[in-house]
Structure 1
Amino acid sequence: MAANYSSTSNRREHVKTTSNPQPGFLERLSETSGGMFVGLMTFLLSFYLIFTNEGRALKTATSLAEGLSLVVTPDSIHSVAPENEGRLVHIIGALRTSKLLSDPNYGVNLPAVKLRRHVEMYQWVETEESREYTEDGQVKTETRYSYNTEWRSEIVNSRNFDREIGHKNPSAMAVESFTATAPFVQIGRFFLSAGLIDKVDNFKPLSLSKLEDPHVDIIRRGDYFYHSENPKYPEVGDLRVSFSYAGLSGDDPDLGPAHVVTVIARQRGDQLLPYSTKSGDTLLLLHHGDFSAEEVFRREQKSNSLKTWGLRAAGWMAMFMGLNLMTRILYTLGDPLIPSALHSTSEQPRRGERPGFAVSQLCHVRALHTRAIPLPASASVTSHLMCSFVKCL
């Protein structure tokens, strides 16, 4: 194993080369046998995914059609109509919370449904690139490891680096990310259930231009608070903090008007709860903006259609991958059946290539067999079938 090292400013890299003998027939057979089992599981999983997706799509479409036929719009959101008790209602209005959300450590106070603190740390990050080649009868792998410093919101464990020395990251952050959520959220007289509050996720960055530095060891630059001696030239372990919010409550001279949403849910008193349909599904919808009931259900039907086709494509892809993995063993089994004279000494099959290298070579040789190596009729037919199978895959 060989290694070379180099460094340029914040970027460092080194290269390692490992050598292994070319895999024999039994080793390749073992690898493809394991792949055949994985392929079978993937193939069966694709059927499960496709059939469950079709059932889900039908149930969702039926529930949406039922909801559209039953939904009612109250005359006012500022009063609770007893005649709508237990019914599916369509409500439009501005979000309102009972108290401010705050982060006293940074002097942030905001009337919103959610306030998110996002913390990033300046850390070493390892990337690797590998290439495989054959030399002197051995399969060699050359891996290039690169190290750069980046702002990351998750801890990068430097113990997993190929070379931790000189690229060590802290094991924890002094400040952590968190999201504060208002306990009570209203539209007029109606209170949103926890499921509806979870759907308020249209986060927008919070400008920090009017805030002061909360502590002497914290510096504000743009829309970040830096835990750093020099934010322009950060060091590994430095932190930066930003804020975002979702669902502005009430009008604000700096942030704009209150956030308006459209909700479709079951009315129970002054609560907006999930509605159970006859097909066994639930309806609890929240869309950002002002939409009619028809538009909400049209958007939901479109979303259901996109999800259905996306899962169908995933199922078909899994089916193709499963078939491909299961049939690769045929290439490996076919290699010993080809006369060794047909193998070029300069073009040996490599690890990572398709195991049927010799089979593909036979496809080329067949066209010349009358002049080069005459093959029996049965061998010619067999090679024709194998070549056709290779082309299909």
Structure 2
Amino acid sequence: MPLDTVSETTHRSWLQRLGAAFTGVVAGLVIVVLGIGLLAWNEGRAIARARGLSEGGRGVIVAPLARIDPANEGRLVHLSGPLRVEGRREDPISGVAADGVSLRRDVEYYQWVETSRSETRTRLGGGEETVTTYDYRTDWSATPVASADFHTPAGHENMTPPLEGAVVSAQEGRLGSYRVDHRLLDTVAPTVPVAVTEADAQRLSAALSRPVWVVNDALYVGANSAVPAVGDMRIRYVAAPAGAVSVVAAQRSGGLEPFLTRNGEEIYLTAAGAVTADEMFRQARDGNRMLSWVLRVVGIVGLILGLGLIMGPLSTLADVLPPVGSLVRFGTGALAFVGGLAIGVIVIAVSWFLVRPVFAACSLVVLVAVVGGVIWFRGRRPAAAAIIAPKP
């Protein structure tokens, strides 16, 4: 429930709105250009990545863990086995330590949080009235909130956090006889909660000059965990165990580095547990396809938004009579959607022709042949029916 609410009403004249709409036209043109560029670049990126993965999948070999074979120097190898790291990871502030690849410190802050909601009404003559309501409440959040950015910072001041989340990681490890660095180590996710002790609380209390308690497997920074105050913190630790991993990379000088394919793509694949090379390449291809579709959607949505901004002045002009403005806004929105979708599909198709001209040309020939065959068959049916029809 909000603890504090502030409302503000702002007015914009029709001329002010019209000026902002024409400024939006410029922004819309920029967004359209960026959307077209993103779609074109994405098709080239996706195909280059697919070709690189195809080359890697054909050339990868399974290398032994127990020894490094000089004959595999520079080649793409697949390794799977237990990861080893030396020493323990330790938080330099609290002294909390754990075995494994990394130790992550997660911090939650009890602080003021601002949310807002707006209601806009268009007046006769094209003017606009907006009522914005700002709600302020205290809550736990994993991200520090700068109260100076609030609409009403007075009475809702947050402290500058003395401690933030951090990760302490091993810099080097071993996978069998191979040396591995952060490129593999950073892919091992922290999953194991680390227990904290009263000694950890005392060390952190001395470092922060504030009372610290052990509460529900966390270090609580504050006077009373039952009655939290703005500025209190909850700190938990999670470790990344050094378990089994799989990697596909280039063997080089006793270590593992990204493999460079003939078309310039880098291959450095990792997975938790024992995973075959075929499965890792399949996952990489699936990820490439997923990223391609995500970027296509982003590009097309950008085109739709950009076209909407370009046509924005039309609805603003019509807002002199609000019902007419709403009707025009619906029409321009529909046009922006259809236009953005059409432009996006055209850009993707043209990009395919430019990046894969042979494949695209063959696809076009097949499509034309199918369409021509359907038209020819439909044209032959009346003639065939006339031939076999009995005479009266």
Q: TM-score range by the shorter chain?
A: 0.7 to 0.9
- Measure, in 2, the Cα distance between the counterparts of 1:151 and 1:331: 42
Residue number in structure 2 paired with 1:214: 201
- 1:84-99 aligned at under 5 Å gives the runs 84-99=72-87
Residue type of the partner of 1:197? L
Shift, 1:130, TM fit: 1.3
Q: What does the per-residue CA deviation read over 1:68-101, in whole Å, with 9 as the maximum and x for residues that have no partner?
A: 1111112x31211122111111000111101111
Residue number in structure 2 paired with 1:326: 310
Q: What does the per-residue CA deviation read over 1:15-64, in whole Å, with 9 as the maximum and x for residues that have no partner?
A: 223344x414xx44423322221111111111110111011101110110
Shift, 1:105, TM fit: 4.2
Kept in 2, the 8 Å contact 1:63–1:278? The answer is yes
TM-score, normalised by the number of residues in structure 1? 0.76
Q: What does the per-residue CA deviation read over 1:87-139, in whole Å, with 9 as the maximum and x for residues that have no partner?
A: 11100011110111112643422121111112222111111111122579763
CA RMSD of aligned residues (A): 2.9
Q: What does the per-residue CA deviation read over 1:170-213, in whole Å, with 9 as the maximum and x for residues that have no partner?
A: 1x22223221110211111111133223333x221514267755
SS of 1:175 mapped into structure 2: coil
The structure 1 residue matched to 2:110, chosen from 106, 122, 125, is 122
Shift, 1:14, TM fit: 2.4
SS of 1:106 mapped into structure 2: coil
Distance 1:136 1:186, change over 3 A: same
Residue number in structure 1 paired with 2:6: 14
The structure 2 residue matched to 1:277, chosen from 256, 261, 269, is 261
The structure 1 residue matched to 2:45, chosen from 35, 53, 56, is 56
Residue type of the partner of 2:218? Y
Residue type of the partner of 1:323? L
Query: Quick check: 1:168 aligned with 2:141?
Result: no
The structure 1 residue matched to 2:322, chosen from 338, 342, 349, is 349
Residue number in structure 2 paired with 1:42: 31
Kept in 1, the 8 Å contact 2:198–2:213? The answer is no
Residue type of the partner of 1:23? W
- Measure, in 2, the Cα distance between the counterparts of 1:80 and 1:120: 46
Residue type of the partner of 2:9? T
Kept in 1, the 8 Å contact 2:89–2:97? The answer is yes
Kept in 1, the 8 Å contact 2:97–2:103? The answer is no
SS of 2:195 mapped into structure 1: coil
Shift, 1:331, TM fit: 4.5
Distance 1:107 1:35, change over 3 A: closer
- Measure, in 1, the Cα distance between the counterparts of 2:75 and 2:336: 60
Residue type of the partner of 1:50? L
- 1:149-164 aligned at under 5 Å gives the runs 149-164=138-153
Kept in 2, the 8 Å contact 1:101–1:111? The answer is yes
Residue number in structure 1 paired with 2:296: 312
SS of 1:206 mapped into structure 2: strand
Residue number in structure 2 paired with 1:3: none
Distance 1:133 1:263, change over 3 A: same
Residue number in structure 2 paired with 1:236: 230
The structure 1 residue matched to 2:219, chosen from 216, 225, 228, is 225
Residue number in structure 2 paired with 1:23: 14
**Aligned residue-pair number:** 330
Distance 1:269 1:130, change over 3 A: same
- Measure, in 2, the Cα distance between the counterparts of 1:181 and 1:125: 32
Kept in 1, the 8 Å contact 2:119–2:130? The answer is yes
Higher helix share: 2
- Measure, in 1, the Cα distance between the counterparts of 2:279 and 2:164: 40
- Runs of 5+ consecutive residues of structure 2 not aligned to the other structure: 206-210, 340-392
Residue type of the partner of 2:224? N
TM-score, normalised by the number of residues in structure 2? 0.76
SS of 1:302 mapped into structure 2: helix
Residue type of the partner of 2:21? T
Kept in 2, the 8 Å contact 1:209–1:222? The answer is no
Shift, 1:358, TM fit: 7.2
Kept in 2, the 8 Å contact 1:105–1:214? The answer is no
Residue type of the partner of 1:208? A
SS of 2:115 mapped into structure 1: strand
Q: Give the share of equivalent positions with the same residue, in percent.
A: 32
- Runs of 5+ consecutive residues of structure 1 not aligned to the other structure: 1-7, 250-258, 337-342, 364-385
- Measure, in 1, the Cα distance between the counterparts of 2:51 and 2:73: 23
Shift, 1:332, TM fit: 5.0
- Measure, in 2, the Cα distance between the counterparts of 1:63 and 1:360: 46
- Measure, in 1, the Cα distance between the counterparts of 2:121 and 2:69: 75
Query: Quick check: 1:194 aligned with 2:178?
Result: no
- Measure, in 1, the Cα distance between the counterparts of 2:329 and 2:91: 66
Which stretch shifts more, 264-273 or 322-331? 322-331
Q: What does the per-residue CA deviation read over 1:250-276, in whole Å, with 9 as the maximum and x for residues that have no partner?
A: xxxxxxxxx111100111132011111
